[in-house]
């Protein structure tokens, strides 16, 4: 390498150039010239090592930024089954991301080893950066294991919550159905404003019930549960149509 070449040239200069040369009656001191050429080769060697160290530091920081992004994504806590599935989908890509980054890590560690070989002293922050880069894959692996445990626990909780909510939804549908069945009792013209308000309220509730039933079905799919038929929503809506059109 260039580093070895310059180091060898410096050693060759030290061995081949004498400190002084006899020229007839005179003695010419060559020490300054000798030191000048030796220092030039040593400086070039050091400069190349500095460039490698700078490049390695930049590569290390880039790798760390990529891993910080992964760490950030894995640190998100789901608020519902949709969020949970999004996290799972991301986790399925993590091994591939780490494998790609491992190539950069290996290359970076080779450069650090080269710096070690030439006894290049790393600053404390770069020394710590070196081992941070080395440890990131294991850190992510540990985090993935912890996230998997958390997701398993939360998925069970969300499923239980959904089933409880579905039971309450069935009761709500029965209540709505009773209201619609008894709607024909409103025959007093004097109460037209009150009836109109009731119609508006029931229309809103039926719209919300339709959306809720779709949400339940979508979530049942995410949980890999059987799809519940909410035919009652369509039945109630159909029975209410004559009143909602008034």
Say whether pLDDT at 14 is over 60: no
- CB of 230 closer than 8 Å to CB of 219: no
Q: What is the spatial distance between Cα 79 and Cα 154, in angstroms, rounded to a whole number?
A: 9
Q: What is the pTM of this model?
A: 0.77
Q: What is the DSSP letter of 17?
A: S
Q: Write b or e for each residue in 32-55: b if 16 or more Cβ atoms lie within 10 A of its Cβ, otherwise e.
A: eebeebbeebeebbeebbeebbee
Hey, what are 212's tokens?
């809720």
| CB within 8 Å of 105: residues ≥ 6 apart | 63, 133, 134, 136, 137
pLDDT category at 246 given cuts 50, 70, 90 is low
Name the band, by pLDDT with cuts 50, 70 and 90, for residue 6: very low
Name the pLDDT band for 51 (thresholds 50, 70, 90): confident
pLDDT digits (tens, 9 = 90+) for 191-227: 667 777 888 889 999 999 999 999 999 999 999 999 9
Residue 23 confidence class, pLDDT cut points 50, 70, 90:
low
Is the pLDDT assigned to residue 25 strictly greater than 70? no
């Amino acid at each position: 390498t260039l580093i070895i070449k310059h180091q060898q040239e410096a050693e060759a200069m030290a061995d081949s150039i004498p400190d002084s040369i006899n020229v007839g009656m005179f003695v010419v001191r060559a020490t300054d010239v000798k030191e000048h050429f030796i220092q030039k080769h040593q400086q070039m060697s050091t400069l190349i090592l500095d460039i490698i160290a700078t490049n390695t530091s930049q590569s290390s920081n880039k790798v760390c930024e990529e891993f910080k992004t992964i760490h950030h994504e894995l640190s998100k806590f789901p608020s519902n089954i949709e969020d949970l599935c999004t996290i799972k989908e991301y986790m399925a890509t993590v091994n591939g991301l780490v494998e790609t980054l491992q190539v950069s890590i290996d290359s970076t560690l080779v450069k650090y080893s080269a710096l070690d070989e030439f006894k290049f002293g790393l600053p404390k922050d770069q020394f710590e950066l070196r081992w941070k880069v080395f440890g990131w894959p294991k850190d992510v692996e540990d985090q993935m294991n912890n996230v998997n445990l958390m997701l398993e626990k939360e998925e069970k909780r969300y499923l239980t919550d959904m089933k409880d909510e579905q039971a309450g939804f069935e009761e709500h549908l029965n209540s709505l159905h009773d209201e619609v069945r008894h709607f024909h009792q409103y025959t007093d013209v004097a109460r037209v404003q009150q009836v109109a308000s009731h119609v508006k309220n029931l229309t809103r509730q039926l719209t919300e019930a339709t959306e809720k039933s779709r949400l339940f079905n979508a979530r049942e799919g995410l949980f890999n549960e059987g799809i519940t038929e909410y035919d009652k929503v369509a039945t109630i809506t159909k029975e209410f149509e004559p009143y909602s059109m008034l």
